[in-house]
């Protein structure tokens, strides 16, 4: 269920037309309007929204009578040339797949731009930025007297009268509202446990959700009450629902959204029946600006104190540091990342001075950034998991609003790597022998949950993913070989599956990008045959054959190019699709073999890596376990061979929360191939006999 979905403005104006078939930036003319979604487009999923044919860049935003004061960039404040230059770079996809950028300074909206799938009247998914809206709702309850600031230090369970305390795990009384709002509840549930709970949704209705979580969590201890980015906001939403008159949903609408003039939004309903607190709301970019304005004005909106000043101060402060400066907006000028009441914080450096900022952050690249010292408010929306937005803010936006900034000052990236000098192939690492070794310890493998990386065909880029155990957040990273050494940066765009052997196509789930003169194209669909599949990894051979997994069926599939036409996807036979599931395939460029991981009763424990060789008649041999030199009792996954064919890379769990990338000489594949061919010949001979 979704509450308050209102698109009354959708019929106002059709999409802007364009004489050009390609993306093109322009500055607003007097008769131009910001791009608006049509009624038909409003019914589409976000992925289906068509790309704008013309990017909209406006240095004199229109007064839409929506409660937002407007001004003119460069006249009221700010360096117009610097911001417009950045906007045009964004339009040309030099910084990722942004959908909008809005900038307000000293209480006025001075700059408004829309790109890609951005529309002025279309709510954009917020992901985890929703947490901040949940926080502000609790602050509103405090302002109205349903709670007090002192209540923040009281146990969550003291507000939830429908719980059965006799069944709760030890230590639940230690979970205060303050700790729940700083991601330190101490609740420890596995994903598998939560998925099991959801098979019986009736038990999760109302406060039953908290009851189930607190019955099945590990005991709450001082050690467990450390920062962990998880589902703690559901506790806050439950408390809100318990203390306000009526429902939390009605309270949020009446006391916040209506007062802010936010009518065009979505907010999904959780299995509990309450608004989904950690994520799943959608807001327009202008309405995101309203949330930011409420915060930077210390809880006031149009002269009315909606949220206590003391609550805003605490919510947007750095209550704790998270120790992950390179996650979600990290960069050379971003440091001391911290956390408040669902607001992230960090220091942004410009020259030799640092500016504290607080930000609402959502997966995919949703940001509301507050820089109080400059009275500056910035809104970004994105749809490509951007992780460098704060660095971009420090490097390209803040200088335009700092007094005495010289307009012609260079804003080039002068990043001095904090890594040792890495020269030579394979990120400067000494190649292993026939015993697997951790790949690039302290450089690629750094004690978090890393995913197996892939080199590009020219061996000059290494793309990989890292899940930070402290926050649960994910970064897509890349090492690039430039000027005879390796440099680390955020991956833009990230490689979701693999790059084709010719280097011209990058795959990501059921979509792909094509190499262009300026980088990579926007994501394109693989076609109707693939749209309903849960593809995690897709890999391609030099002949154009796709091999991919599907988490919905737990089977591997393939699709060949036959006489220039692509055949419909087909499942591999039982010789490959055996065990509980099969996933994460890799096919050799010449199609001589493929590797994947699967869980078999005959394996070594968790998931093991398997290989199959193509026979002379074009059939595929049965799955062959890679053996105990590579496979262990834990999960071993994500096997790939470097484009030069020399080394095999895979992922191995090294502790409960950590996994590293390992590599080993790929010579073992030839040994297994000879054994497989011998078995095939024996099998054929027995058939002939």
- Taking the domains of the chain in order of start, what are their residue ranges? 41-129+255-401, 147-243, 497-688
> Average pLDDT, whole number, for the chain?
87
- For residue 673, the Cα-to-chain-centroid distance in whole angstroms is 39
Q: What is the mean pLDDT of residues 415-434?
A: 78
Q: Is the dihedral of CA 670, 671, 676, 679 positive or negative?
A: positive
Rounded Cα gap, residues 71 and 106, in angstroms: 10
* DSSP track, 45-60: -GGGSPPPSS-EEESS
Rounded Cα gap, residues 529 and 166, in angstroms: 52
- Tell me, what DSSP letter sits at residue 183? T
- For residue 157, the Cα-to-chain-centroid distance in whole angstroms is 32
Q: Which fold has domain 41-129+255-401?
A: Beta-lactamase (3.40.710)
Q: Taking 60 as the threshold, does the pLDDT of residue 687 lie above it?
A: no
CB of 292 within 8 A of CB of 68?
no
The SS3 assignment for 414 reads: coil
Q: What is the number of alpha carbons within 13 Å of residue 218 lying toward its C-beta?
A: 9
The SS3 assignment for 381 reads: strand
pLDDT of 57-100, one tens digit each?
999 999 999 999 999 999 889 899 999 999 999 999 888 899 99
568: exposed, middle or buried (Cβ count in 10 Å: 0-12, 13-18, 19+): exposed
Q: Taking 90 as the threshold, does the pLDDT of residue 224 lie above it?
A: yes
Rounded Cα gap, residues 17 and 166, in angstroms: 64
Q: What is the mean pLDDT of residues 420-445?
A: 89
Rounded Cα gap, residues 605 and 299, in angstroms: 54
pLDDT of 470-481, one tens digit each?
666 777 788 999
Centre a 10 Å sphere on the Cβ of residue 202 and count the other Cβ atoms it contains: 7
Q: Is the dihedral of CA 155, 363, 15, 48 positive or negative?
A: negative
pLDDT of 264-277, one tens digit each?
999 999 999 999 99
What contacts 169, CB < 8 A, 6 or more positions away? Answer: 214, 215, 216, 217, 218, 219, 220
pLDDT of residue 496: 58
Q: What is the mean pLDDT of residues 161-182?
A: 97
More confident residue, 516 or 108: 108
Q: Which two tokens stand for residue 4?
A: 């308050």
Q: Taking 50 as the threshold, does the pLDDT of residue 195 lie above it?
A: yes
Q: Which two tokens stand for residue 361?
A: 């952050």
Please say whether the structural domain 497-688 has been given the CATH code 3.20.20.70.
Answer: no
Centre a 10 Å sphere on the Cβ of residue 347 and count the other Cβ atoms it contains: 19
Rounded Cα gap, residues 182 and 206, in angstroms: 23
pTM for the whole structure: 0.65
Nearest to 505 by CA among 490, 488, 493: 493
Q: Taking 70 as the threshold, does the pLDDT of residue 104 lie above it?
A: yes
Answer yes or no: same fold for 41-129+255-401 and 497-688: no
Q: Taking 70 as the threshold, does the pLDDT of residue 390 lie above it?
A: yes
Task: Name the one residue in this structure whose structure tokens are 């490959």.
Answer: 576
Q: Which two tokens stand for residue 82?
A: 């610097």
Q: Taking 90 as the threshold, does the pLDDT of residue 385 lie above it?
A: no
Q: Which two tokens stand for residue 424?
A: 């030579």
pLDDT of residue 403: 60
| φ/ψ of residue 505, rounded to 5 | -135, 135
């Amino acid at each position: 269920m979704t509450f308050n979905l209102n698109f009354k403005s959708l019929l106002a104006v059709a999409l802007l037309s364009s004489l050009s078939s390609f993306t093109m930036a322009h500055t607003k003319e007097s008769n131009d309007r910001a791009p608006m979604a049509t009624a038909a487009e409003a019914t589409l999923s976000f992925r289906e929204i068509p790309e704008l044919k013309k990017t909209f860049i406006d240095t004199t935003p229109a007064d839409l009578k929506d409660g937002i004061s407007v001004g003119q960039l460069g006249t009221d404040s700010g360096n117009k040339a610097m911001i417009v230059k950045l906007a045009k770079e964004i339009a040309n996809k030099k910084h990722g797949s942004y959908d909008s950028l809005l900038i307000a300074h000293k209480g006025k909206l001075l700059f408004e731009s829309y790109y890609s799938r951005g529309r002025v009247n279309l709510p954009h998914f917020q992901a985890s930025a929703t947490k901040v809206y949940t926080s502000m709702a609790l602050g509103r309850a405090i302002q109205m007297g349903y709670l007090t600031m002192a209540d923040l230090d009281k146990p969550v369970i003291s507000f939830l009268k429908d719980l059965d305390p006799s069944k709760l795990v030890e230590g639940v009384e230690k979970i205060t509202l303050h700790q729940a709002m700083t991601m330190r509840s101490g609740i420890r549930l596995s994903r598998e446990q939560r998925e099991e709970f959801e098979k019986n949704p009736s038990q999760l209705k109302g406060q039953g959700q908290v009851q189930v979580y607190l019955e099945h969590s590990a005991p709450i201890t001082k050690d467990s009450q450390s920062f962990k980015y998880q589902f703690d906001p559901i506790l806050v939403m439950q408390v809100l629902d318990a203390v306000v008159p009526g429902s939390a949903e009605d309270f949020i609408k009446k006391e916040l959204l209506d007062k802010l003039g936010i009518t065009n939004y979505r907010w999904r309903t959780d299995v509990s029946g309450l608004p989904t607190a950690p994520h799943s709301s959608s807001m327009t970019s202008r309405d995101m600006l309203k949330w930011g304005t409420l915060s930077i004005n210390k809880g006031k909106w149009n002269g009315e104190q909606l949220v206590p000043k003391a609550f805003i101060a605490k919510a947007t402060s750095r209550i704790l540091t998270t120790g992950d400066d390179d996650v979600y907006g990290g960069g050379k000028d971003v440091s001391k990342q911290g956390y408040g009441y669902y607001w992230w914080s960090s220091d942004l450096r410009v020259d030799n001075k640092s500016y504290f900022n607080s930000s609402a952050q959502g997966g995919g690249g949703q940001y509301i950034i507050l820089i109080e010292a400059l009275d500056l408010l910035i809104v970004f929306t994105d749809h490509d998991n951007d992780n460098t937005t704060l660095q971009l803010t420090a490097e390209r936006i803040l200088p335009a609003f700092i007094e005495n900034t010289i307009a012609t000052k260079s804003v080039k990236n002068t990043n001095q790597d904090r890594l040792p000098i890495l020269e030579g192939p394979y990120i400067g690492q000494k190649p292993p022998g026939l015993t697997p070794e951790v790949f690039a310890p302290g450089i690629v493998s750094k004690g978090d949950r890393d995913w197996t990386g892939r080199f590009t065909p020219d061996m000059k880029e290494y793309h990989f993913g890292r899940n930070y155990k402290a926050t649960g957040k994910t970064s897509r990273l890349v090492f690039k070989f430039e000027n005879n050494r390796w440099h680390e940066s955020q991956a833009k765009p990230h490689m979701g599956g693999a790059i084709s052997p010719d280097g011209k196509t990058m795959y990501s789930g059921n979509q792909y990008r094509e190499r262009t003169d300026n980088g990579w194209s926007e994501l394109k669909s693989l076609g109707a045959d693939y749209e309903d599949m849960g593809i995690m990894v897709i890999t391609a051979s030099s002949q154009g054959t796709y091999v991919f997994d599907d988490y919905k069926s737990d089977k591997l599939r393939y699709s060949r190019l036959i006489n220039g036409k692509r055949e419909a996807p087909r499942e591999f036979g039982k010789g490959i699709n055996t065990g509980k599931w099969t996933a994460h395939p890799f096919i050799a460029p010449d199609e001589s073999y493929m590797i994947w991981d699967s869980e078999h009763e005959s394996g070594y424990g968790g998931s093991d890596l398997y290989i199959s060789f193509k026979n002379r008649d074009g059939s595929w041999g049965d799955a062959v376990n890679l053996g105990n030199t590579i496979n262990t009792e834990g999960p071993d996954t994500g096997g790939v061979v470097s484009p030069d064919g020399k080394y095999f890379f895979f992922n191995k769990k090294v502790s409960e929360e950590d996994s590293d990338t390992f590599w080993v000489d790929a010579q073992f594949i030839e040994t297994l191939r000879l054994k497989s061919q011998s078995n095939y010949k024996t099998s054929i001979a027995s058939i002939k006999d």
